Amino acid sequence: MKFTVTCLITLLALSSVQADANTNAANCMVNLPKPYTSGTGASDDTCPKAYLVYGVCIAQNCAQKTQNLGDYAGCLKSSCKSDNANVQKYIDGQIKCIYSRLLSFAVMMVAIFAFMY
Q: pLDDT tens, 31-74?
A: 888 888 877 667 788 999 999 999 999 999 998 887 788 888 89
Provide the pLDDT for residue 66: 73
Buried b (16+ CB within 10 A) or exposed e, 16-25: ebbeebbebb
Q: Answer yes or no: is pLDDT of 25 > 60.
A: yes
d(CA 20, CA 49): 33
d(CA 82, CA 66): 20
Q: Any idea what the Cα angle at residue 86 is, between residues 55 and 71, rounded to 5°? A: 45
Q: Which residues contact 96 (CB under 8 A, 6 or more apart)?
A: none
Q: Where are the alpha helices (DSSP H) in 66-84?
A: 69-79
- Higher model confidence: residue 2 or residue 55? 55
